[in-house]
Structure 1
Amino acid sequence: MQTLWINAEDALLLLGTKPQTLYANVSRGRIRAKPDPADSRRSLYQVDDVKRLAKRHAGRRQAAAVAADAVRWGDPVMPTAISAITGQRLFYRGRDAVELARELALEDVAAILWNGPPNGISIPAGGVDSGSRMSAAFAALAARVMSDLPALGRNPAVLQTEAADVLATVASALAPSAEALPLHERLARGWQRPEAAEPTRTALVLAAEHELNVSTFGARVTASSGAALSAAVLSGLAALTGPRHGCAWMSVITLKTVAGTIGAREAIRGILSSDGVVRAFGHRLYPDGDPRAKALMASFEAPPIYRELAAAGEELLGEPLNIDFALAALADSFRLPEDSPLVIFALARTVGWLAHAMEQVESGELIRPRAHYAGPAG
């Protein structure tokens, strides 16, 4: 189903609010907006977002309904000092992630997100490439879970040291190397594509953290139980493998393959007609385009078919490409292994999961929502 847009007058009628409230909701990312193609001085607003807020503001819903809506792209549900998405930009502890991606490595970003040493985190060499890197990461983490100490009740400095060790475990599986190189170089050299090192560095930094996405929330829930940091990362890694999260890039490869046969516009039309959504485009938190995708695409020369898809997607869907599209284009451009987008995503996001796990442990809170029973009466 194609995204529907309405003008300000219709949006205000649905919301029953003043224009200032509409604009405030747009600035906070609650309502997606874009310029009106017929009049650049006016804006159009995403109708589903407007209806969702109108329903929330009705004022007569029970707390259970509000809580249920909050976990589906609703209002913030817990405080964090790690990252923020505001003004359609992503910030890591107050610093623009796109700016950080211009120069820093993932290890430097780990130090920022963990409030760690200013000179970055050092990851020792280790690991042997023995086949599926993702399978190796699952196995390595699972082997640690029952022997690692619970995270609850331990000094933050001690947890940071353990976090670096957990990251090293994941790196040994996802980016095995006999040399103590920066993680982006370990990946590029391991794939025998040294020329891919710089855009891989950019990708790792941009994918390191993204607020309370589904895998991060899973990691925080696990950490709230007091489980080991390795257990929290294992939870995040499991959630990442879903096709609506870390494996969304696979739909981009399918789109590219179809486009190579019938053209970009017809490929988008076909997938939209059959699936109702083209996951390569749009992001609810970035109405004007995913800044991570734009920065990553600028770091390498994508093949013509991706540029054609990007233009056709924005024209037909009214949505710019997202980071899943950019990761798939990166892998295809440098002929990286088939699962390389997921490997990059998993290695990068491990840093964010560990940051959230440590923050959750420090809060001392157990994440335990209530369920609203909707089954048959007993």
Structure 2
Amino acid sequence: MSWISAEQALEVLGTKPQTLYANVSRGRIAARPDPADPRRSLYRAEDVERLVARRNGRRPAQAVAAETIAWGEPVMETAISTIAGGRLLIRGQDAAERAKTATLEEMAALLWSVPFPPDFAAEPSSESETGLLPAYRRIAELAATEMPAISRHRSVLVADATHVVSAFAATIAGTGPGPVHTRLAAHWQRPAATEALRCALALLSEHELNASTFAARVAASTGAPLAASVLAGLAALSGPLHGTASLSMSALVRDAEQQGAETAIANLLRQGQALPCFGHRLYVEEDVRAPALLATFDVPPLFKKLAEAGHAMSGEKPNIDFALSALVAAHDLPHDAPLQIFALARSVGWLAHALEQTETGALIRPRARYTGV
């Protein structure tokens, strides 16, 4: 990944500065502060070159399709959410602002377009254990036994969605009355973390067409039960480039404890390694979810130093995975708490996309470009 100055970008594009800034605001070109001069910006060279290629003529359909898969142009329509102008918008509402007060149940009402927040406390758990393993088992069981989503009324599907999240919440946060975040804080015996957990669940409930959401939509497009969409989302979420990204902070934190934040970060950058849990390609300035979550608890001093040194040395700011790691450290949560929080929250968003995809009645079935013998 390479970064170029505004002058270099304008020379390649052959446009006015206003056009460059417009492309940045629309998310077509990533930008970051210049570490050597914070008053100036640098622009991702790959994004600039891609725009030039598009402008220079109609490309073959196969080239267009290949580019859309990896951070490219939109591939499908949705009324659920978008990332635009440096903000995450859910049904037209600013997600960071909404997360200041909203519960996961209230985010579900917004995402599913229902008049009242669903009750996720209604599902008793048959599992003797709690955590990710029983949660995966329970969702897999529902995926194998529930009715297909195709040709069923939306009100029935919303009831199915509520049942799925309730079952998932019971295996993660335990059973009992009250909103999910209070049950989760009580289950982990961390009442002081209640407000931060509420905010984290709200912020993570939806994030446009990421890998796990796309997997959920593909499953939904076949007419499979809604639980199957959640199971597909869980499978994609389990990868280190997605839901478990915050675990990559562990080594950096350990090195920072031993060597200091600046030295630990400098060593990573000298080796040509990316700084874990910093930056996000879809945001112009920073992942807006990170500061929203970090504002809900006392950030440990070491994480403050890492955030400052990381920004100063790389030009990138902490993202939501950094914030989740800091939350775990601040409240001594289970080591896999980020993935548990992520999965429980995002199940609501996956189901919103599954409902929307089911309504289209369209099967997602792209073609592959064969390169074999």
TM-score calculated relative to the size of structure 2: 0.95
**C-alpha separation between the residues in 2 aligned to 1:333 and 1:38?**
32
Q: Residues 142-161 of structure 1: matches in 2 within 5 Å?
A: 142-161=140-159
Q: Which runs of 5+ in 1 are unaligned?
A: none
Asked if the contact 2:130–2:173 (Cα under 8 Å) also holds between the matched residues in 1, the reply is: no
Corresponding residue to 1:301 among 290, 298, 301 = 298
- Residue 370 (structure 2) aligns with: 373
Asked if the contact 1:306–1:329 (Cα under 8 Å) also holds between the matched residues in 2, the reply is: yes
- Residue 52 (structure 1) aligns with: 50
Does structure 1 residue 356 correspond to structure 2 residue 350? no
Moved more, 40-49 or 359-368: 40-49
Corresponding residue to 1:137 among 135, 138, 148 = 135
Moved more, 230-239 or 23-32: 23-32
**C-alpha separation between the residues in 2 aligned to 1:194 and 1:109?**
22
Asked if the contact 1:15–1:54 (Cα under 8 Å) also holds between the matched residues in 2, the reply is: yes
CA shift for structure 1 position 12: 1.9
1:29-70 per-residue CA deviation (whole Å, 9 max, x = no partner) reads 111224556767654322232223223333252110111001
Corresponding residue to 2:324 among 324, 327, 337 = 327
Asked if the contact 1:84–1:92 (Cα under 8 Å) also holds between the matched residues in 2, the reply is: yes
Q: Percent identity?
A: 53
**C-alpha separation between the residues in 1 aligned to 2:365 and 2:206?**
23
Q: Secondary structure at the match of 2:145?
A: coil
AA at the equivalent of 1:27: S
**C-alpha separation between the residues in 1 aligned to 2:75 and 2:202?**
25
What RMSD over aligned residues (CA atoms) do the two structures have, in Å?
Answer: 1.7
Does structure 1 residue 244 correspond to structure 2 residue 241? yes
Corresponding residue to 2:223 among 216, 219, 226 = 226
Q: Secondary structure at the match of 2:43?
A: strand
Does structure 1 residue 122 correspond to structure 2 residue 80? no
- Regions of 4+ moved over 6 Å: 37-41
Asked if the contact 2:256–2:263 (Cα under 8 Å) also holds between the matched residues in 1, the reply is: yes
**C-alpha separation between the residues in 2 aligned to 1:278 and 1:41?**
22
**C-alpha separation between the residues in 2 aligned to 1:270 and 1:90?**
33
**Judging changes above 3 Å, is the alpha-carbon distance between structure 1 residues 280 and 35 closer, same or farther for their aligned structure 2 residues?**
closer
Moved more, 139-148 or 357-366: 139-148
CA shift for structure 1 position 188: 0.6
- Residue 166 (structure 2) aligns with: 168
**Judging changes above 3 Å, is the alpha-carbon distance between structure 1 residues 103 and 37 closer, same or farther for their aligned structure 2 residues?**
same
- Residue 276 (structure 1) aligns with: 273
TM-score calculated relative to the size of structure 1: 0.94
Corresponding residue to 1:210 among 207, 211, 218 = 207
AA at the equivalent of 2:261: A
Moved more, 30-39 or 225-234: 30-39
**Count of aligned pairs between the two proteins:** 372
Corresponding residue to 2:9 among 7, 11, 15 = 11
Q: Secondary structure at the match of 2:4?
A: strand
- Residue 63 (structure 1) aligns with: 61
- Residue 96 (structure 1) aligns with: 94
**C-alpha separation between the residues in 1 aligned to 2:61 and 2:139?**
38
**C-alpha separation between the residues in 2 aligned to 1:82 and 1:363?**
14
**Judging changes above 3 Å, is the alpha-carbon distance between structure 1 residues 79 and 146 closer, same or farther for their aligned structure 2 residues?**
same
CA shift for structure 1 position 129: 7.2
1:309-360 per-residue CA deviation (whole Å, 9 max, x = no partner) reads 0001101110000000000100111000111010000000000000000000
**Judging changes above 3 Å, is the alpha-carbon distance between structure 1 residues 275 and 359 closer, same or farther for their aligned structure 2 residues?**
farther
Moved more, 149-158 or 215-224: 149-158
CA shift for structure 1 position 265: 1.6
**Judging changes above 3 Å, is the alpha-carbon distance between structure 1 residues 38 and 256 closer, same or farther for their aligned structure 2 residues?**
closer
Q: Which runs of 5+ in 2 are unaligned?
A: none
AA at the equivalent of 1:318: G
Asked if the contact 1:129–1:176 (Cα under 8 Å) also holds between the matched residues in 2, the reply is: no
